Structure 1
């Protein structure tokens, strides 16, 4: 099973993936944790570019979208291999991030056509002001106005794609319990 957590920066994806991974391990599942961008050469280039002051401008976004698509092709092999071994894949972001951050352009969908669609997508929905207070301030995307636009795009996409929306404004344990309920139901587990 391939599970992805999506959301704006500061929504708690990494923290919740860590908690989810620990819980699933305790339940006897083998886990592969992945993230986008990866630690491949393309991923490292993306991370560096995300710190550029022009990272949110349109042409820069096009370049990032192409790099993310290339990085994803590398990642898909790892995901498929893990699923073939019966592991649960937990991902911090997937191709939906490109659709949202690059405003859903058709060419974004085309360059990501080889990306595997997650079995479950959990959207960590949070107020941008709260998210900003959690961020480290490294990326150019950590701007309230920009994150409001991205949050709205995520919510629109969640409605179209049937994501599970989790209120990430709640406390850490409440969010974790909400996520566990969704995952337990999909895996036929009791919590």
Structure 2
């Protein structure tokens, strides 16, 4: 697993679809540039470069994305690729999601299935390290649904309403101490994403700014 070098602070945004993470992430990039903050980014759930063999397979056979086992390997590939490509020596590393997303996505009502999935994730996504801080954007279900309906016509199979509720439970379980050793040192910061986007973005920026000043 990638070791923390003691010089950088790794802060990730987490939350359900419709929470506003993409808007906040873009806002942060602009503010960091404006304030001259040395930073890099890592997005472990985003596609690797399109020419990669695994990405090509899923492009040629899109129905594979409906197979949960295949998706586990796809996202493990993306996570490890992102970890190898990230500039971990920067003062600040900003994450658009993290390994915690994989835990939440595979969380189950059955405890033994949950722990089996965690074991698989830890072995397959073995390059990406756990963040120092997670900023969780908390938005009520009805607000998220309205945003998604306005923006997206298709729903990701892992973020249907039933799955979203289960993921929300997973996030709160991890936030309050899940017993997962890989994330036991993570400090969680919860921000309400229900207000005006500008205010929410500024609140998240201030949280990160304060922690950068402490370094």
Does residue 155 in structure 1 map to residue 191 in structure 2?
Answer: no
TM superposition score normalised by structure 2: 0.72
Equivalent residue for 2:34? 26
Equivalent residue for 1:70? 77
- How far did 1:52 drift? 5.4
| CA–CA separation in structure 1 for the residues paired with 2:212 and 2:145 | 33
Equivalent residue for 2:197? 172
Equivalent residue for 1:124? 137
| CA–CA separation in structure 1 for the residues paired with 2:64 and 2:153 | 12
Of 6, 16, 19 in structure 2, the residue corresponding to residue 8 of structure 1 is 16
Task: Identify unmatched segments of 5+ residues in structure 1.
Answer: none
| CA–CA separation in structure 1 for the residues paired with 2:160 and 2:93 | 30
Does residue 39 in structure 1 map to residue 48 in structure 2?
Answer: yes
- How far did 1:170 drift? 2.0
- How far did 1:118 drift? 1.8
TM superposition score normalised by structure 1: 0.80
Call closer, same or farther: CA 1:26–1:158 in 2, change over 3 Å: same
Of 160, 165, 173 in structure 2, the residue corresponding to residue 143 of structure 1 is 160
| CA–CA separation in structure 1 for the residues paired with 2:59 and 2:24 | 21
Task: Please give the residue correspondences for 1:100-111 in structure 2 after superposition, counting only pairs within 5 Å.
Answer: 100-103=104-107, 104=114, 105=117, 106-111=119-124
Equivalent residue for 1:112? 125
Q: Which of these two proteins has the greater Rg computed from alpha carbons?
A: 2
